[in-house]
Amino acid sequence: MARVLLIDDDEALAPPLAQYLARFDLELVAAVRPSDGLRQLEAGSFDALILDGMLPEIDGFEFCKRLRAGDEPWRQLPVLMLSARGDLTDRVVGLELGADDYLAKPFEPRELAARLQSLLRRAVRAAAASGPPSAAAVVATPAGTARQRRFDGLVLDLDRREARADDGHVFELTSTEYELLLMLAAEPGKVFTRDEILNRLRGQEAELFTRSVDILVSRLRKKLGTLDAIKTLRNAGYCLALAPRP
């Protein structure tokens, strides 16, 4: 059963939601304040985080920002923002700060369950990406050592789920950013449309909010700095512009 942490100051929300999510093999643990949620993260192991946007102490947007900027083991935890602030600007801000998905209140519990399942499938696929190699170049290494995919200026460490530069600098990526990079790296030069990326990352039919793909790519480009790894083909999509290396 996957464990999900909910940080929401509405104390009446957690009990019925926990009962509903249990039907989908999701165990919900609740905290009503960010400080309580942080203690839960430190004390236990979780597979995903539901984060309300409007919270005491600090709001959910700032909490998400700090979560992604830290060096704690849960910094790559899949995050679903759950907030009454559901207009486009807030959704864009939430995604830019590192959230993996965004659901506005009021919401249908079934949709929340579906989105959580999608996030968890995505995390499993990202972990499984360290399995059999695909079209990208893979470094042959002795048993027990890290497997890597190398490109001009970029190294993907499949066992550590890290992306780093040739000088050893590690790019701090969220699980979604890392999976997008793996997706593009699987077939360098191939153009992936926004809908293909949404379908792959969400594990469900793409929504009308395809702008989230542009935000995700922009975030990834910014973190990769001057590497210029991702090429945009206008009205077509995105591709990895780095050549594989042996």
Domain map (residue ranges) of the chain: 2-128, 138-245
Which parts of the chain sit beneath pLDDT 50?
Answer: 130-146, 203-208
Write down the CATH superfamily of domain 2-128.
Response regulator (3.40.50.2300)
- Bridging pattern class, strands 101-104 and 48-52: unpaired
Backbone angles phi, psi at 72, to 5 degrees: -70, 155
Q: How many Cβ atoms are within 10 Å of 167's Cβ, its own excluded?
A: 6
The structure tokens listed for 56 are 């005491």
Residue 26, pLDDT score: 94
Residue 144, pLDDT score: 38
Residue 135, pLDDT score: 39
| Predicted structure pTM score | 0.61
| CATH code given to domain 138-245 | 1.10.10.10
